[in-house]
């Protein structure tokens, strides 16, 4: 998993340990699996996380883990209608005059729809919670024109991978785009634009 995500093994172990501690995943004989939890359990387990200040890196680690699995499931379960809807949502990103708030809204709509395509309600809930935690940072990233300029094309690549059922490529795109977003946030922090 560390190779697939491009992070060190201790980082993956730490993230998995935290998810196990929250009761969101379980260690089994053949790896780590999403725990058989209700949506209520997922939300109640993550409330302390929502109330505490988390480091940017930890948020991105969690988002990469969750979104990689969500996009993998979406690749397996995609329908023609789902692909059409992703394209429809992505076309909204072409508006050159949209505000950062609208951009963030459409980007979240796109990623939320991929989560819905996964068909896994527990993973969907986890994704929503993590995305809510990101609102503090992501709205700043959306103001960076370099990120905005590439998002439409990144989404097109992701839609193409999902439509082909190519989970490996889809996961690589998720990793690349989230790493780019994380780097942009670090740059903003260094410039004092966000705390």
pLDDT in tens, 134-143: 776 665 665 5
Query: What's the mean per-residue pLDDT of the chain?
Result: 80
Domain residues of the chain, as ranges? 54-190
pLDDT of residue 103: 81
DSSP 52: S
What six digits make up the tokens of 73? Answer: 């499931």
Q: Which helix (H) or strand (E) element contains residue 24?
A: none
Q: What is the chain's Cα-based Rg? A: 16
pTM of the model: 0.69
DSSP codes, 57-98: HHHHHHHHHHHHHHHHHHHHH--HHHHHHHHHHHHGGG-TT-
The percent of residues above 70 in pLDDT, for the chain, comes to 76
> For domain 54-190, which architecture applies?
Up-down Bundle (1.20)
pLDDT in tens, 36-76: 654 545 554 554 454 344 577 888 888 999 999 999 999 99
């Amino acid at each position: 998993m560390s190779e697939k995500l491009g992070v060190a093994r201790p980082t993956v172990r730490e993230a998995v340990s935290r998810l196990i501690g929250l009761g969101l995943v379980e260690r089994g004989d053949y790896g780590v699996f999403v725990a058989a939890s209700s949506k209520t359990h997922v939300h109640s387990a993550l409330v302390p996380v929502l109330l505490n200040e988390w480091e940017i890196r930890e948020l991105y680690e969690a988002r990469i883990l969750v979104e990689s699995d969500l996009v993998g499931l979406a690749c397996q379960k995609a329908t023609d209608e789902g692909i059409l809807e992703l394209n429809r949502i992505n076309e909204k990103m072409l508006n050159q005059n949209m505000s950062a708030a609208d951009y963030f809204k459409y980007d979240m709509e796109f990623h939320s729809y991929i989560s819905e395509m996964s068909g896994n309600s527990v993973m969907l809930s986890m994704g929503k919670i993590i995305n809510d935690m990101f609102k503090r940072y992501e709205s700043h990233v959306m103001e960076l024109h370099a990120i905005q300029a590439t998002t439409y094309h990144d989404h097109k690549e992701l839609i193409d991978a999902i439509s082909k059922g190519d989970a490996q490529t889809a996961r690589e795109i998720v990793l690349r785009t989230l790493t780019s977003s994380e780097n942009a946030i670090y740059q903003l922090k260094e410039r004092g634009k966000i705390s």
